[in-house]
Amino acid sequence: MKFAIALFSAPHAPSSRRALRFAQAALAGGHEIVRLFFYQEGVHSASSNVVTPQDELDISGEWRDFVREQRLDGVVCIAAALRRGVLNAEESQRYDRPAANLDDPWALSGLGQLHEAAQVADRLVCFGGP
């Protein structure tokens, strides 16, 4: 089965960890993930500036490692990211900001990527949200 996964919640929220464990289990079960889409507060999971307390799981780091190791399509909604100060080098330069905090393996793109993933996948699974 092909899954598209959308994450709407911040990295410290329980739903972020559940989404990660679901994605790991899906791949371990022989399924495919066509795209991971980070939206709303979920964009913070892709920020390289998230610092996790020592007694907590570093879910942002786990997401980054998982996307890299599995060579997944990890897309961060550009509108949600800009609003929350999550910028890659190009956007940092474009908006004259002092630093970027989004790098590989993440890609900034629009909601059209979520729509496309939902069309290609057998199931769209969403975690978090209002």
Which residue is catalytic, options 4, 77, 78, 124?
77
Residue 126 catalytic?
A: no
Which residues are CB-contacts of 33 (< 8 A; sequence separation ≥ 6)? 2, 3, 4, 5, 23, 26, 27, 70, 72, 73
* Beta-strand relationship, 32-38 and 74-77: parallel
Q: Is 129 helix (H, G, I), strand (E, B) or coil?
A: coil
Peptide bond into 105 cis (omega under 30): yes
Element holding 76 (H helix, E strand): strand 74-77
Give me the phi and psi of 32, to 5 degrees please. Answer: -120, 145
Q: Catalogue the active-site residues.
A: 77
